[in-house]
Amino acid sequence: MAREVREPKITHVTITGRVVPMDNESYMELLLLAHRFRKSLVKAVKMYAKGLDRNTIVKEITKELNLGYADTIYKLAKLIVEGVRHNNSNPLKIRIRKLFIASRGFTSNKGNRNIRLSSSNELQVNVPWRRWIKFKVVFGRVQASSLLLNISDRFYDSPSSPFLICPHASSGERSSLR
What DSSP string runs through 113-156? SSEEEEETTEEEEEETTTEEEEEEEEEEEE-SS-EEEEETTEEE
Residue 12 pLDDT: 65
Q: How far apart are the first and last CA of the chain?
A: 47
Residue 152 has pLDDT above 50, yes or no: no
- The secondary structure element, H or E, covering residue 24 is helix 24-49
Domain limits of the chain?
A: 15-165
Q: Would residue 134 be called left, alpha or beta, if left means φ above 0 and alpha means ψ between -120 and 50 degrees? A: beta
Residue 151 pLDDT: 36
Residue 155 has pLDDT above 60, yes or no: no
pLDDT band at 82 (very low <50, low <70, confident <90, very high): very high
pLDDT 10s digits, 119-149: 888 888 888 888 889 988 887 654 333 334 4
Residue 60 has pLDDT above 90, yes or no: yes
Residue count of the chain, please give it: 178
DSSP 164: E
3-state secondary structure of 106: strand
- For 25, other C-beta atoms within 10 Å of its C-beta total 10
3-state secondary structure of 6: coil
pLDDT 10s digits, 85-102: 888 888 888 888 888 888
